[in-house]
Structure 1
């Protein structure tokens, strides 16, 4: 019998081994004889050890993540590793649910898609003026009737209209300047504005200045109650609003308060402003090529300004001669001055809106924006007309 190697196997050496080879270890499945040509025929047959095991129940609450069952002592069940795919549910072909068709007679949102049998949806092109012209004309006519009818038939109602317009203008301005961080007190501004207009109507130009002073002082006292934070900023904004809206608007009350011909003075002033706006619009749309102030109002052109002053001068020369018995050349000068003031007022408000980052003061009037977008040119024209008419047609007391 041969010696065993200390680090070798316990089997004897080759000359000591028996001639009969040791039988191979038994396999868990029989090994059939497969011909070489039959290796690619038929599906592969899995051995019994890899046959599909019965489905296991789904993991319940308290089992560890991953679906492995755990024993009472926290260890994983070793049987799960033998069949790792038995916990997966078989994938079944599920047909997608059909998308319901839209009800007949209705079209989904969005523009209609163009096809061979129908053209694409046409979008309405905006006007060159940048606003809805029919709506603007309708609103303008309604505002003119609201002013002219009480002016000729019952002047005290005209005073109410002016006071209401001043109040709305103050509200729009205070609302707009809040975008810059300023918060002017609204209550004393509106109360002082109405008071300013009333004083101008009943007591003349000196009372108009007194109303402005009272409005500014009242705003200052009201604002002190909110503390010192931002006081200078808010008071500056309030003073600007008080001068811009009620003080300039009070000249309408001064014009209308003139005895005998106050309604005619207001009429020729408003007519000059309307002629200026109409002439400027017509000339600017048809001939405007050279911008007047592109950084402030890109749509205004020098051609439009020429149309404004020409229309206002010609119309005012005729109106003042017929209504107030003023020489035509003085009427033309009146129209030139009022038109220039109206354009300046329009540019001033455009600069304020551009500085505040707003397009319109509000959306109160369709086709116009806010009321201040219509009063901008009138407010600057009112003191100009008042001073010129005081020279051309002195008031007889």
Structure 2
């Protein structure tokens, strides 16, 4: 089927350029090569310039490059993570589309519309316009953002000369390193929006959903772990926020308590944002649940009435034993089916996946937490909670 070969990541002008250059070849580990190349372009010249200006290593006065956690988070953490996460995420998303096409979710009458959705998604993925816009935004943002955002008043900064103008390292960061980081992040945002578009189009189909489906989501339970693949975006975003917080804590005597509510807001907000595209399924799933409960309720009424008439005490004795009859087992099975329909989620997100994504968004803040609280104190507080 056409959905079997659908890929969210393997397309677009950047992919075609890399394929043409031989970077993408069967049997060649593409992600390590691309990650090393991007880090080499973004960070190695930056480190060379900072070393020439004696602002590479911490302890040389002011905020050195290797002590600027905000920049390190962007160039040495976020870029490699986003590159390495692309292929595994694409495999999961491709498997989800293959499941939609082959599982019976799409009725025969809707196959043409489903194929049109896949064709449209491929056309958007392969279009040059979105990635060109991402590149223009990545480079153009250098005109209205500064390269010394982690500067602390009263301290020298690796991106600035003594007269306050950009140093060679600062210029490289502003015009090369930062645009590389922004472009990688914007490509991920574009793929996220493209997948959201696919989900929205799928929600317009008359999918074959069932309130009593064992997955508790009408048959769309597979979308929860699929959508969770985008939690890598909230993780890398958390790395950026954590780096900025660490700079303020280390160099400006900032306190974690001053930003705790902002951090909690980021964790909750980024997690909900990752799963927000699944809300487009809510109207359809709510309708399926409501209709399923009504149908099962009517069927249950007839089943309960028949059971009561068959086994009421006034029925004639000497017939079939209740213990040997299949009727009680059938009623129990029907009760379980009704319970599944009643507990059906109207949004295909399960609690464990949501908590796992929130944990991934919170994980980057561990260094800031350990800087504010010693490990011994942290363990004592945890033991106090568990005691």
TM-score band, normalised by shorter chain: under 0.3
TM-score normalized with structure 1 length: 0.23
Identify, as 1 or 2, the structure richer in helix: 2
Greater relative contact order (CA < 8 Å, ≥ 6 in sequence): 2
> Please, what TM-score do these two structures have when normalized by structure 2?
0.24
Pair member with larger Rg: 1
